[in-house]
């Protein structure tokens, strides 16, 4: 056959560039099959087939007459031109020689499945599509559940016509591709019956931060068109590559999507959307075993093509197998890493407290930028001419047809969509600040109002009223000097971990467990424990809503906590990450869901029932065991042995021993698998009895806030005595020196994770002079302080 080739044919040329190499579509499928990856069978038209069509009835010249001189910035002209070219192709019958070969190939494929007219997917693959520096995501059309020769001929012709969709024409112009040098093949695959199971997309890097240590998997029930088209909010999972390669179950994130509908076959064997059941919305669309299988496939594919990949997959509800249906290079972050400016990092930094500004809507952040402009709601592309450059584009959903508008926008906000939909991919390539899945942006955002679309605060993006004060900082990694004193970061929010990890650092000096409990778990740990035992808890129904996707309260607590910690540990891997066990005060615990029943009112909770004394008490012991179980899961199951542990507010050495005994009981043993357990040095007794405490612990991390308040007898929450609170007080500095000296004498680790070094350079100088091992700072202080420490060390030497 000249115009049709089966996927298993070796050496087929000019069928479509896939995977960043001059490999044909068929060669890709055969390569993956040989590597043990399941792929559906099928065939594809060759480049000669497309050239044959163009040569018929002077079609190429007629297209050129329509498209020559087109101004793609003129949306109305672009729409008219695109429609005219597509109609030309749709009205042109396919060449007889191509139709004959296609019928024979389809008959052969159908017979292989014991069927007269088997169901197939008809997919476009252009020779300028899926290159390492341009994704062309969704620029051409694909069609699902096509059955019968006549329908197949019609949809192959539609694929050829889709080479001239408005978005494809605009995209090629913006990338400098000559449409005359672009060809298109049509791949015909046996349908994977994911309408009876699930399907989705995965990237072999984190699409938000660009970290190449992550495999990000999105999944929905039913056929995958709804997700890539941005019509549903999918489930999202992260798998950590380095420990996956070690054979660990390295799932570090599970996030339940709303999955409001799914695409299935209808009675006429076409496709339609139906609402998902409440049960489907409340459960994940992939099991852990399936996640690991997909992640292993992704590793194989990435290794084979030697570039980060964007992969579509589907699960067959009939045989239960997972299939790879498409693979192409990721184009945004991988291109940046190969560029001559790869040493430069651009950071958008909010310079105000946004909690005091009115938040209008929120959703999933695409990129890490901030865009400011006046709202323009465009509900349909027929109103595209009303949109002006520099406005904020607000709509229900965008597909690749919206790309010409998105290029003109200051920012984009949609009601629907996930981070792997086609629109999100295009938004990253364009570099426009975008929030998807906001649910109600078209109603909440009013036309003519100035807003700030902020994607610089983690995975969740926010639209704020007015112009947020921000700055853009460019970091030149080639100019960074390394000080001898280790500079760690204080990190509490797992959603920001991968982004801040790009700032030069030596690890995490303080990861606050209570931030994860408060923001991700939200219910009092003992309320969850009592629910686990079947006891009634006030707020029971609200807590059950939080637990959607998890089998029971313990599974919910342990998994959510371990994943939050795992995200931080993975972002900085293999650098050390010091995780502090929970340090809520009774008044803070009381405000959690179900918390009022478990916490007493205290006159001064700052020095009350907190820290180690809570862990071994009858009223919290079981919850602390769950904390330990989560930590063990991070270190042993996820393989993140870079996690070190730290206990807060340990008043006596005996308290330390009692807490560590409980940890040992739960499998957290000092020295085992390199585990180190530190104590916060934040009470005068920690300094005065340092020699005894350091017989129990592997080192100290100084908590300068509590140490200052307890040394000076100042309640740091009281405005009446706030003027006395000062870490530079000589009494506090003597405490700091005594703690450092005690650890040096014992050969134990000594760092500081309090606020003082971030606020006062003179404290930093004092610590460096006295030989502290590490200083842990807020992320926004690290670069500034790095230069200060480098200069200090030069002067001191």
Q: How far apart are CA 238 and CA 203, in angstroms?
A: 10
Query: Per-residue DSSP letters for 17-78?
Result: -BTTTTB-HHHHHHHHHHTT-----EEEE-HHHHHHHHHGGGHHHHHHHHHTT--TT-HHHH
First and final C-alpha spacing in the chain: 77
Residue keyed to tokens 């009303």: 386
Q: List the structure tokens of 257.
A: 């999507």
Q: How far apart are CA 346 and CA 166, in angstroms?
A: 32
- Please give the C-alpha separations between residue 267 and each of 145, 198, 270, 541, in angstroms, as whole numbers: 12, 20, 7, 39
CA angle (129, 144, 97) in 5-degree steps: 70
Q: Active-site residues: which are they?
A: 422, 753
Q: How far apart are CA 361 and CA 194, in angstroms?
A: 33
CB-CB contact of 225 with 261 (8 Å): no
CB proximity list for 685: less than 8 A, separation 6 or greater: 651, 652
Q: What is the DSSP letter of 633?
A: I
Q: What is the DSSP letter of 616?
A: T
CB-CB contact of 153 with 3 (8 Å): no
Of the candidates 205, 464, 432, 441, the residue with the CA atom closest to the CA atom of residue 335: 205
Coil, strand or helix: which one is 591? Answer: coil
CB-CB contact of 394 with 445 (8 Å): yes
Coil, strand or helix: which one is 546? Answer: helix
Omega of the bond prior to 556 within 30 degrees of 0, cis?
no
Helix residue ranges, H only, 162-236: 166-175, 225-228
CB-CB contact of 172 with 113 (8 Å): no
CB-CB contact of 48 with 55 (8 Å): no
- Please give the C-alpha separations between residue 528 and each of 282, 532, 553, 630, 661, in angstroms, as whole numbers: 19, 6, 5, 15, 24
Q: How far apart are CA 118 and CA 744, in angstroms?
A: 75
> Other CB atoms closer than 10 Å to residue 714's CB: what's the count?
18
> Other CB atoms closer than 10 Å to residue 560's CB: what's the count?
20
Query: Exposed e or buried b for every residue in 259-294, given b needs 16+ CB within 10 A?
Result: bbbbbbbeeeeebebeebeeebbbbbbbeeebbbbb
Q: What is the DSSP letter of 400?
A: G
Q: How far apart are CA 235 and CA 83, in angstroms?
A: 36
């Amino acid at each position: 056959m000249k115009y049709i080739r089966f996927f298993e044919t070796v050496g087929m040329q000019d069928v479509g560039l896939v995977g960043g190499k001059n490999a044909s579509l068929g060669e890709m499928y055969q390569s993956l099959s040989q590597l043990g990856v399941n792929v559906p069978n099928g065939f594809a038209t060759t480049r000669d087939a497309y050239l044959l069509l163009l040569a018929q009835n002077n079609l190429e010249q007629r297209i050129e007459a329509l498209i020559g001189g087109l101004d793609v910035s003129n949306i109305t002209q672009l729409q008219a031109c695109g429609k005219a070219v597509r109609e030309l192709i749709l009205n042109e019958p396919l060449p007889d020689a191509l139709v004959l070969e296609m019928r024979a190939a389809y008959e052969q494929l159908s017979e292989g499945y014991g069927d007269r007219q088997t169901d197939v997917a008809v997919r476009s693959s252009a020779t300028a599509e899926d290159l390492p520096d341009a994704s062309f995501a969704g620029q051409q059309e694909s069609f699902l559940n096509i059955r019968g020769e006549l329908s197949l001929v019609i949809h192959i012709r539609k694929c050829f016509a889709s080479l001239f969709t408005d978005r494809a024409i605009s995209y090629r112009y913006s990338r400098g591709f000559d449409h005359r040098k672009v060809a298109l093949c049509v791949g015909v695959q046996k349908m994977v019956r994911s309408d009876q199971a699930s399907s989705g997309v995965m990237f072999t890097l984190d699409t938000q931060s660009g970290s190449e240590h992550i495999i990000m998997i999105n999944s929905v029930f039913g056929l995958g068109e709804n997700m890539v088209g941005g019509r549903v909010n999918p489930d999202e999972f992260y798998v950590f590559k380095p420990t996956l390669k070690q054979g660990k179950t390295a799932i570090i994130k599970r996030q339940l999507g709303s999955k409001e509908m799914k695409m299935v076959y209808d009675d006429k064997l076409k496709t339609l959307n139906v609402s998902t059941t409440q049960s489907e919305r409340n459960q994940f669309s992939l099991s852990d075993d399936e996640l690991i299988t997909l992640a292993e496939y992704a590793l194989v594919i990435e290794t084979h093509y030697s570039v980060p990949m964007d992969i579509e997959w589907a699960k067959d509800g009939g045989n239960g197998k997972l299939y790879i249906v498409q693979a192409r290079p990721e184009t945004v972050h991988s291109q940046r890493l190969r560029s001559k400016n790869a040493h430069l990092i651009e950071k958008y930094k909010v310079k105000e407290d946004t909690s005091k500004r009115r938040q209008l809507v929120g959703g999933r952040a695409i990129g890490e930028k901030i865009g400011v402009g006046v709202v323009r709601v465009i509900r349909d592309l027929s109103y595209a001419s009303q949109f002006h450059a520099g406005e904020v584009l607000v709509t229900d959903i965008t597909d690749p047809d919206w790309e010409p508008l998105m290029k003109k926008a200051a920012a984009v906000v949609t009601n629907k969509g996930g981070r792997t939909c086609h629109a999100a991919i295009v938004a990253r390539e364009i570099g426009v600040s975008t929030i998807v899945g906001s649910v109600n942006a078209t109603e909440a955002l009013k036309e003519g109002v100035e807003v700030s679309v902020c994607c610089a605060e983690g995975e969740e993006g926010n639209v704020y009223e007015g112009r947020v004060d921000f700055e853009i900082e460019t970091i030149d990694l080639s100019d960074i000097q390394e000080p001898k004193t280790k500079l760690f970061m204080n990190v509490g929010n797992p959603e920001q971990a991968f982004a801040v990890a790009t700032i030069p650092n030596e690890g995490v000096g303080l990861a606050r467990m209570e931030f994860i409990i408060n923001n991700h778990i939200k219910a009092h740990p003992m309320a969850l424990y009592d629910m686990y035992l079947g006891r009634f808890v006030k707020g029971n129904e609200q807590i059950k809503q939080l637990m959607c996707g998890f089998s029971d309260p313990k599974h919910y607590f342990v998994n959510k906590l371990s994943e939050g910690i795992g995200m931080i540990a993975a972002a900085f891997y293999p650098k050390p990450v010091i995780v502090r066990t929970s340090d809520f005060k009774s008044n803070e615990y009381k405000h959690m869901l179900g918390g009022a029943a478990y916490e007493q009112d205290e006159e001064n909770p700052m020095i009350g029932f907190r820290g180690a004394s809570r862990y071994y008490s009858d009223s919290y012991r079981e919850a602390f065991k769950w904390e330990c179980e989560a930590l063990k899961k991070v270190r042993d199951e996820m393989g993140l042995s870079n996690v070190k542990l730290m206990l807060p507010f340990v008043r006596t050495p005996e308290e330390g021993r009692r807490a560590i005994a409980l940890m040992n009981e739960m499998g957290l043993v000092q020295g085992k698998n390199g585990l180190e357990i530190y104590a916060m040095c934040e009470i005068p007794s920690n300094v005065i009895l340092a020699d005894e405490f350091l017989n129990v612990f592997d080192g100290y991390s100084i908590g300068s806030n509590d140490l200052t308040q307890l040394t000076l007898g100042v309640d740091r929450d009281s405005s009446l005595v706030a003027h006395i609170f000062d870490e530079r007080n000589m009494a506090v500095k003597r405490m700091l020196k005594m703690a450092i000296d005690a650890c040096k004498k014992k050969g134990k680790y000594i760092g500081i994770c309090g606020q003082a070094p971030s606020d006062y350079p003179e404290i930093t100088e004092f610590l460096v002079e006295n030989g502290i091992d590490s200083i842990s700072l807020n992320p926004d202080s690290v670069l500034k302080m790095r230069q200060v420490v480098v200069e200090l060390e030069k002067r001191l030497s």
